[in-house]
Amino acid sequence: DAKTTQPNSMESNEEEPVHLPCNHSTISGTDYIHWYRQLPSQGPEYVIHGLTSNVNNRMASLAIAEDRKSSTLILHRATLRDAAVYYCILSNSGGSNYKLTFGKGTLLTVNP
């Protein structure tokens, strides 16, 4: 399975944008890039996912490099509630492989 590399931790200030990077140099052509986050003492929750094009939703934006070997999750205005562990995950849509492999993720601290 293709793996992802994320920084262990990042800090941001409230109401400022946050760019969370993810490297996935061995990504295959059919791998989707997913981002989940886990708030303290809660289960993970979906943030966003994409294949090749940049994606936007109400929570965040996902910028995917042209060669797809890296991506960046963008939180446009961080709030205290965005403090969480953010996971960048690859999954293959082919066949019946719907399993998600979680790494350690990036712990985002948001300062007031």
Partner 1 sequence: NAGVTQTPKFQVLKTGQSMTLQCAQDMNHEYMSWYRQDPGMGLRLIHYSVGAGITDQGEVPNGYNVSRSTTEDFPLRLLSAAPSQTSVYFCASSLRIKGGSTDTQYFGPGTRLTVL
Residues that bind partner 1 (CB under 8 A): 32, 34, 36, 42-46, 49, 51, 87, 91, 93, 96, 98-105
26 or 57: whose CB is closer to partner 1?
57
- Rounded-to-integer distance, Cα 65 and Cα 70, Å: 6
- For 24, 38, 48, 106, the CA distances from 43, given in Å and listed in that order, are 24, 6, 16, 16
In the complex, minimum distance from the CB of residue 100 to partner 1, in angstroms, rounded to a whole number:
6
In the complex, minimum distance from the CB of residue 39 to partner 1, in angstroms, rounded to a whole number:
11
59 or 74: whose CB is closer to partner 1?
59
98 or 112: whose CB is closer to partner 1?
98
DSSP 80: G
In the complex, minimum distance from the CB of residue 31 to partner 1, in angstroms, rounded to a whole number:
10
In the complex, minimum distance from the CB of residue 32 to partner 1, in angstroms, rounded to a whole number:
5
- Strand-pairing partners, residue 45, are 37
* Angle made by CA atoms 72, 66, 90, in degrees to the nearest 5: 55
Local structure of 81: helix, strand or coil? helix
